[in-house]
Amino acid sequence: MLIAPSILAADFSKLGEQIEMITRAGADWIHLDVMDGMFVPNITFGAPVIRAVKSYSALPFDVHLMIHNPKRYIADFCKAGADIISFHIEAEEDVEGTIAAIETGGAKPAIAIKPQTSVNQVLPYLDKLYMVLVMTVEPGFGGQSYMEHMMPKVAALKQKAPHLLIQVDGGIDLKTIVPSVRAGVDVCVAGTSVFGALNPQQMITDLKLAAVGA
């Protein structure tokens, strides 16, 4: 199980230090949530901030775009240091073109689906993708409750494409990581549970142990 702490729950006044801390704490990827106030009712940060913190960690930068018409900005995020880019299929008409732009930019393409979006929508693209992100909350905010009823989507995707990575995002903690593992998840995003812990390093260790024991 790979753990990708979401810096949405970090202290933004010292983002570089927080990314260094989470890297030393045993994170596998750094998850960066980009929100535009249009696709989701919240605004976070864009490519310049990602570029500014890139040098604070050698871990893969996993950029989750919650923005309308993401294709327009793919080149910017690739240049800023994104290694994996997830975009929402609900936000983009030109899905193939967006996947192609991510590959042209040298990053790995992933599609994210909101809780109400069926896996059927991503099936035509599976062989072009590195990962599918199954949201386990409505995108927009950290600290929401995990939707366990999303797990049949994870299991269905694993059955269709066993080699594709499946990521879940939203409400992941020591308890909810268990049904996620059982459904076949490969990468867990964790914001509040990791950055809110007294000891983030211990929390990452415990999340991995919980995954092994599941």
| Contact residues for ligand DX5, defined by CB under 6 A | 6, 8-9, 31, 33, 64, 137, 139-144, 169-172, 189-193
Class of residue 27 by CB neighbours under 10 A (exposed 0-12, middle 13-18, buried 19+) = buried
Nearer to Zn ion (CB atom), residue 8 or residue 96: 8
Whether 33 is a known active-site residue: answer: yes
Whether 62 is a known active-site residue: answer: no
Q: Note the maximum CA span of the chain.
A: 43
Angstrom distance (rounded) from CA 43 to CA 41: 7
> Which range in 16-24, 26-34, 100-108, 198-206 contacts Zn ion by CB under 5 A?
26-34
Nearer to ligand DX5 (CB atom), residue 78 or residue 203: 203
Nearer to Zn ion (CB atom), residue 127 or residue 193: 193
* Residue 176 CA from chain centroid, whole number: 16
Binding partner at 179 among Zn ion, ligand DX5, none, C-beta below 5 to 8 Å by kind: none
Q: How far is the CB of 31 from ligand DX5 (least distance, A)?
A: 6
- The encoded tokens of residue 28 equal 């596998």
CB atoms within 10 A of CB 162: 8
Residue 135 has φ and ψ, to the nearest 5°, of -70, 135
Interacting residues toward Zn ion by CB under 5 A:
33, 64, 169
- Give the catalytic positions in this structure: 33, 169
